[in-house]
């Protein structure tokens, strides 16, 4: 029985002729050749595209570089736009106790306690920081942050390029009604070092929000009587009704004199109406800057800036090339 079943199974398997196997082998070979040829064709197309596009890209890149170089060479300083930055003072507690750190701290002391620390060079009872508020870090109050990059600087009042030391001595002679510091003195070095430290992180000619002392100019004439009223109502509680300032129990001037023999002379910037009005508008009363109207700031600045004060003996040499401002106290 088993032999009969095996015999039937063998008979049921399909039988292929030798011609079939020959035809099948030829078909497989032809298919492989066709696929290989088509792949080779695609490969050649790819190489051709690369060969044709690379020189064009290289030429375009060369032209772009030449164009960029040309544009860079044609740029002028006036074409560059500096991003406006906020005034930010460094933290003095982070200073190291080395020569630089000690110089910075001495310089800070000189500008904050000027008339007591440098009595031979100060004829008033004022400190640098009576105008340059908070150690020279307050916007719109002549901040020293970034000032290193502003000098040397041409100034029409002197008619020449001034170094930072020249500008500092301008304040000693005018705002402090005193005498200049020798440019190479230890005191001047410390003051400049302090200002250098304040300028840390700012590029030369940095555009800072609140740099300098903005001026305020109204189209009308100032009113002396109205200015006196504003002074008595808004300023006298600190500077006293007679404008001679307030002296604390420690003998120091808590609030500076605004006129008289202990105040700034007529050559100071604060003796000029436009500068004084701008300063008052942005910074006074102290801690309440911006609380006065433009009219109030205009009138009260005229009131105190026109009061009697020391003369500036070298005034004849100011603005040697012309350009004297209209609000100068002398002609």
Spans of the chain below 50 pLDDT: 4-5, 47, 49-73, 75, 77
d(CA 219, CA 63) in angstroms, rounded, equals: 56
| The CATH classification of domain 224-317, taken from the options 3.30.1330.10, 1.10.3720.10, 1.10.287.890, 1.10.760.10 | 1.10.760.10
| pTM confidence score | 0.74
Which pLDDT does position 177 carry in this prediction?
98
Model pLDDT, residue 240: 98
User: What's the pLDDT score for residue 50?
Assistant: 43
- At residue 173, the pLDDT reads 98
Give me the pLDDT at residue 56, please: 38
- Is residue 152 reached through a cis peptide bond, with omega within 30 degrees of 0 on the bond before it? yes
Beta strands in 138-206 (DSSP E): 153-155, 160-162
| 3-class state of residue 254 by DSSP | strand
Give residue 28's pLDDT: 59
- Distances from the Cα of 85 to the Cαs of 19, 138, 139, 142, in angstroms? 91, 14, 11, 16
Confidence at residue 15, expressed as pLDDT on a 0 to 100 scale = 59
How many alpha carbons fall within 13 Å on the CB side of residue 290?
2
Helix (H, G, I), strand (E, B) or coil at 212: coil
Are residues 216 and 96 in contact, defined by beta-carbon separation less than 8 angstroms?
no
256 close to 239: Cβ distance less than 8 angstroms:
yes
Q: What is the pLDDT of residue 25?
A: 63
CB 260 within 8 A of CB 243: yes
pLDDT in the model for residue 21: 59
- Give the model's pLDDT for residue 149: 93
Superfamily of domain 92-198: Cytochrome c-like domain (1.10.760.10)
Residue ranges of the chain assigned to CATH 1.10.760.10? 92-198, 224-317
Helix (H, G, I), strand (E, B) or coil at 73: helix
pLDDT of residue 304: 98
What is the rounded distance in angstroms from the CA atom of residue 204 to the CA atom of residue 296? Answer: 36
């Amino acid at each position: 029985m088993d032999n009969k079943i095996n015999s039937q199974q063998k008979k049921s398997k399909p039988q292929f002729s030798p011609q079939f196997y020959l035809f099948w082998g030829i078909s497989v070979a032809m298919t492989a050749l066709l696929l290989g040829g088509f792949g080779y064709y695609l490969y050649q197309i790819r190489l051709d595209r690369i060969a044709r596009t690379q020189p064009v890209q290289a030429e375009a890149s060369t032209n772009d570089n030449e164009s960029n170089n040309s544009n860079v060479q044609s740029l002028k300083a006036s074409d560059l736009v500096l991003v406006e930055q906020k005034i930010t003072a460094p933290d003095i507690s982070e200073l190291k106790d080395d020569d630089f750190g000690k110089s910075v701290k001495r310089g800070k002391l000189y500008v904050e306690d000027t008339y007591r620390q440098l009595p031979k060079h100060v004829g008033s009872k004022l400190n640098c920081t009576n105008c340059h508020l908070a150690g020279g870090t307050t916007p719109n109050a002549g901040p020293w942050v970034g000032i290193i990059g502003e000098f040397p600087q041409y100034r029409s009042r002197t008619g020449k390029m001034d170094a930072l030391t020249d500008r500092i001595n301008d304040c000693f002679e005018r705002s402090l009604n005193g005498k200049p510091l020798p440019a190479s003195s230890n005191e001047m070095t410390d003051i400049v070092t302090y200002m250098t430290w304040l300028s840390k992180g700012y590029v030369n000619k940095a555009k800072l929000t609140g740099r300098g002392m903005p001026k305020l100019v109204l189209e009308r004439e100032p009113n002396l009587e109205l200015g006196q009223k504003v002074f008595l109502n808004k300023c006298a509680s600190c500077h006293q009704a007679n404008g001679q300032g307030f002296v604390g129990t420690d003998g120091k001037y808590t609030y500076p004199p605004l006129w008289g023999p202990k105040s700034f002379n007529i050559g100071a910037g604060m003796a000029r109406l436009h500068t004084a009005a701008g300063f008052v508008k942005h910074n006074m009363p102290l801690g309440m800057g911006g609380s006065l109207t433009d009219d109030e700031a205009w009138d009260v600045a005229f009131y105190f800036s026109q009061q009697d004060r020391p003369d500036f003996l070298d005034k004849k040499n100011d603005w040697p090339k012309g350009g004297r401002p209209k609000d100068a106290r002398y002609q």
